Amino acid sequence: MAEAQLFVSQDEFTCSLCLDTLTDPVTIPCGHNFCLKCLSNCWDQSQVCSCPQCRHTFTTRPELNRNTLLNEVTKKLKKMTLSSPPPQNYAGPGDVECDFCTGKKFRAVKSCLTCMASYCQTHLQPHYEVATLKHHNLVDTDRNLKEKLCEKHQKSLEIFCKTDDSCICMMCVVTGHKIMKCQLETEREEKQVSDV
């Protein structure tokens, strides 16, 4: 029988307080996980017991018990990362980094010209699943993505102006790019001359 493979990212087992792999993980009633020490320190310094992630407030301080299953998973994950060479997913010199990874950045696999951002495989997934994102323009990773934005409108440069010999965005056209008007006037005159 074939054994199923499970692909998980180390980011999925990261404490949002210390931004490191969970140590002695605890799960609080709202479902979020933290390191026992991090959450205890957070609550010791606050008058209110609330989830540092979703801000759900608890009337009484919940008893914190180590999540044994999650603890075993994080121990195995730590062993794997120590015994294996650094994964090829992490961005190295010359790679385009994912704009949405926190902590150590993964290598981007695609750039979105609609969002003007680059995504690793994990963060790109919504572009394949969410209806509104499916229509976005995905391209191979591009380290010069920000240079493809109009400085004035922060929109993608989609139109080339021959007269100006530069790229402009749709907002430039809508707001009356003067060079564009000149170009259209010239083309109209050329058309009239050729028709005579």
**What are the sequence ranges of the domains in the chain?**
10-83, 88-148, 159-195
pTM (2 d.p.): 0.41
For residue 192, name the pLDDT band (cuts at 50, 70, 90).
very low
- C-beta neighbour count of 126 within 10 angstroms: 14
Q: Are 91 and 100 in contact (CB under 8 A)?
A: no
CATH of domain 10-83: 3.30.40.10
Q: Are 113 and 68 in contact (CB under 8 A)?
A: no
Rounding to the nearest 10 degrees, give the CA dihedral for residues 79, 102, 140, 127. Answer: 100
Q: pLDDT of 25-61, one tens digit each?
A: 999 999 999 999 999 999 999 888 999 888 999 988 9
Q: Where are the beta strands (DSSP E) in 9-121?
A: 25-27, 33-35, 49-50, 57-58, 110-112, 117-119
C-alpha 135 chain-centroid distance: 17
